[in-house]
Structure 1
């Protein structure tokens, strides 16, 4: 659910998307940001094709999944009218003026934090592909695709794989971003390398969910670093 944080750490984590691989399994399932204290990303290198920065060709599409409702908040719960990932997506859109596609499940996730945790665990265990509401975007006119999601139980929600597996990313640069508790980018490097056919990857950004409202400077610096925003 967006960004439950099982850690009390309050600092933002900016991680390089291509340096992260699976992490230790958790004894208790959590969501988005969604990780217990022993859940630390493995920083061994993976091998997706990488671009140092985004090549300036074609338009930019920002595709994201976000969940409002009851969320984890510094060891407690809070009710979010707008999910943390959507807050981050809006900040990116305002800075670079991209097209936006919101990934919405045909079967919406529950308002309850606990119920969403249980559903997410079932979907991960079954390697499920939750259905997406509405038509998918046509990537032909885009050179760059930003993929945004929370991190639930160490990885992006399974609906992100539903999305990426159905599209052809040949010749596109994929730029991931996540909101999280302490898992950073989680396993997105490995997962997107497997499901974004033909893509190259630029560095991603991970922001702690509870701190996304104050992340403007980090987001701006990251967009500049990957070549999506001028100085």
Structure 2
């Protein structure tokens, strides 16, 4: 049986480990936001071919995404160029702050409270949309909470659902597991993840991935 000194030492060690893990998560989240802002400043993309893409995918493809720094938006545009369909951005009634420490703390607080931030505008899902891409940055190991808001207020049924994610080292985290839990009847295909700082060089990888999952012809 441990004496009082040993118990206190064990408790301190546990607190130190928790603080260390939380600090690492916070640094990674903060690094992702910083690199995302830099990438948004310097990455260049040809103008998306929205007109031809719409004709190509029609209303059978819907690309829903949440983006803070702009990296996930750019990734959504790359996907849209090849698959067509319609794009829908998730925006919250209360915008997230641009200052890094502020958005880090806000995102962490929302996750701890299991918040569901209201969306500024509804996203309609056409009945004929059979394939839905879901895009997001990895915040604290999973979706930003507005993505939970969307998924819990829309029944995606047995549609094909495809995740795509930007991050700075944590890849999908547990977001794929959360997606399967929230869309239990959906056919979930292999997703795509890329560091936010590399979105500008991801066109070829996006093309390869879309071919692998059968979303564009090999032609």
Q: Which has the larger Rg? A: 2
Contact 2:115 2:145 in 1 (8 A): yes
Is 2:174 the counterpart of 1:187? yes
Instruction: Considering fraction of residues, name the structure with more helix.
Output: 2
Aligned to 1:27: 22
Q: Choose between structure 1 and 2 for higher RCO, CA contacts under 8 A separated by at least 6 residues.
A: 1
Superposition map of 1:1-231 within 5 A? 26-28=21-23, 29-30=25-26, 31=29, 34=32, 59-68=60-69, 83-231=70-218
| Structure 2 residue matching 1:110: 3-state secondary structure | coil
Is there any run of 5+ residues in structure 1 with no aligned partner, and where?
1-24, 36-55, 69-82
Question: For 2:98 and 2:79, how far apart are their aligned partners in 1?
Answer: 26
The two structures have a TM-score, normalised by structure 2, of 0.74
| Structure with a larger share of its residues in strand | 1
How many residues align? The count is 173
TM-score where L is the length of structure 1: 0.70
Contact 2:134 2:164 in 1 (8 A): yes
User: Structure 2: which 5+ runs fail to align?
Assistant: 1-19, 34-56
The answer (yes or no) to whether the contact 2:63–2:135 under 8 Å persists in 1 is: yes
- Measured on the aligned residues, the alpha-carbon RMSD in Å equals 2.2
Q: 1:33 to 1:59 in 2, by over 3 A?
A: farther
